[in-house]
Amino acid sequence: MTVIKNKPEVLAPAGNLEKLKMAIRYGADAVYIGGQAYGLRSRAGNFSYEEMAEGVAFAHARGAKVFVAANMVTHEGDAGGADAFFKTLQSIGIDAVIISDPAMITICAQAAPGLAIHLSTQASATNYKTLEFWKSLGLERVVLAREVGIEEIREMRRHTDIEIEAFVHGAMCIAYSGRCTLSNHMVNRDANRGGCAQSCRWKYDLFDMDEGEARSHIQDGEPFSMSAVDLAMLRHLPDMIDAGVNSLKIEGRMKSIHYVSTVANVYRNAVDAYCEDPEHFRFDPAWEEEIWKVAQRDLSTGFYYGVPGEKEQLFGKPRKIPKYTFAAQVLDYNPETHLATLEQRNHFGVGEEVEFYGPGFVHFKQTVRDLWNEDGEPIDRAPNPMMTVTMTVDAPVEPYFLMRKK
């Protein structure tokens, strides 16, 4: 039996400290976060230095890494203070920074020598010479452009040994990242400095100018749009791993705990299953079922097997995806009484069908049979956010197991 020893890393997004911890508990080898400045997700919950330090301590105690995205494309004046920022990150113990702007790379290399630099996907690295160039400057890793195919990754791997990170899951820019300023031109929000208004997902008229008169080419009332469906390489992880990808990246610093824990859990389990015994690997349909519980759009393989066609864009009526809601988090469990103590995150009640899941791809469904409030009084529903309740569970759970409902 061949075991894959150089297992690629599962890299998950973490919009805040709680998500960071959850992503790691649910199997992420590394997480990427944003600082208070220089990132591209100005509206994602970003980390203070104190929170970063706590996140790093938590991650390192579990053998996981923390990367900080500082991938803004700076204008005059934006890079002020970046030297102190990088120095602080290094002293906190951040494992790497993700940068796209060469001015920021220069500042980081000078201010914090030894702090690993990963080239952000914003720089659209699409060929092996580009990878070699960044390697020659001392970068440790390149995050590939989303426009690169599996065959191209294989060829890159034959030409260079720099670490390759590639997206495997989540929402995608429809443009080459960094090469889209629709948002700048349409609403004065700089896409490359964290202001992207997602103008590509708007609906447009499409017309020609016939002797000065606009003639619409809109067909059957279907507006023109450029909205990409999401990426999911779950079914093709063996291809990604065999091509030599070192880090499998999940998109979504704005995504919920429910999303991050579920996706990390699935990819962790699938990557482990393949690497433990690639020859006898069988795809488990339960992984895909699980992924659909948090999917927000239709899913596709992006550019990995060819240039995406019309099916990989959102046209017509959106696919109906059953919505699951994050209902509670397990705080405690008593194996003798089979009672679980839960913290409510969304209302639920007796008689409802719920599902528990936990790290290691554990999950089971059950009906809520009973419910007690903090004072031990029986109740029908758990209506209040963050209230503590107790219920009988059909299978063992542990703290940080999560409960969802349809």
Partner 1 sequence: MIELIATAESLEQAEALLDVGADRLYIGGHPFGLRLPQPLSLEQIEDVIKRAHQRGKKVTVSCNALMHNQQIAQLPDYLQKLADFGADAVAIGDPGAMFTLKELKLELPFVYDAGTLVTSAEQIAFWVNQGASGAVAARELTLKELFAMQKKLKQPVEVQVYGPTCIHQSGRPLLTNYFTYTHAEAPDQQLFLRDPKNADSQYPIFEDEDGTHIFSTEDLSLIGQLGAMQEHGLKTWKLDGVLLHGDRFVRIVALFDEARRAVEAGAFVPESFANRLAKLQPAHRPLGTGFYLKNPEDVH
Options 88, 90, 127, 346; binder of partner 1; rule CB under 8 A:
127
Q: Rounded to an integer, what distance in angstroms lies between the CA atom of residue 78 and that of residue 71?
A: 12
79 binds partner 1 (CB under 8 A): yes
Residues in contact with partner 1, counted by CB under 8 A, come to a total of 79
Check residue 184 and give left, alpha or beta (phi > 0: left; psi -120 to 50: alpha): alpha
58 binds partner 1 (CB under 8 A): no
Cβ proximity to partner 1: between 210 and 377 the closer is: 210
Q: Which residue has the tokens 């426009």?
A: 147
Contacts with 221 (C-beta within 8 Å, 6 or more apart), sequence order: none
Q: Is 403 helix (H, G, I), strand (E, B) or coil?
A: strand
317 binds partner 1 (CB under 8 A): no
Contact set for partner 1, span 203-232 (CB under 8 A): 203-210, 212, 214, 217, 219-220, 222, 224, 226, 228
303 binds partner 1 (CB under 8 A): yes
362 binds partner 1 (CB under 8 A): no
103 binds partner 1 (CB under 8 A): yes
Largest CA distance in the chain: 82
43 binds partner 1 (CB under 8 A): no
Q: Which residue has the tokens 């103008």?
A: 199
CA angle 284–289–291, rounded 5-degree value = 105
126 binds partner 1 (CB under 8 A): yes
Options 65, 193, 249, 255; binder of partner 1; rule CB under 8 A:
193
Contacts with 239 (C-beta within 8 Å, 6 or more apart), sequence order: 150, 233, 304
Contacts with 269 (C-beta within 8 Å, 6 or more apart), sequence order: 27, 284, 287, 360, 361
Cβ proximity to partner 1: between 220 and 375 the closer is: 220
Contact set for partner 1, span 156-175 (CB under 8 A): 156, 174-175
For residue 6, which amino acid is it? Answer: N
49 binds partner 1 (CB under 8 A): no
Cα-based distances in Å from 231 to 87, 163, 197, 284:
35, 21, 20, 19
How many residues can be counted in the chain? 406
192 binds partner 1 (CB under 8 A): yes
Q: Which residue has the tokens 């080419």?
A: 217
Instruction: From 275, 235, 230, select the one nearest 27 (Cα to Cα).
Output: 275
CB of 48 to partner 1, least distance (A): 22
117 binds partner 1 (CB under 8 A): no
Contact set for partner 1, span 272-291 (CB under 8 A): none
Options 39, 178, 244, 359; binder of partner 1; rule CB under 8 A:
178
Options 54, 132, 332, 355; binder of partner 1; rule CB under 8 A:
132
Options 88, 90, 106, 366; binder of partner 1; rule CB under 8 A:
106
Cβ proximity to partner 1: between 120 and 269 the closer is: 120
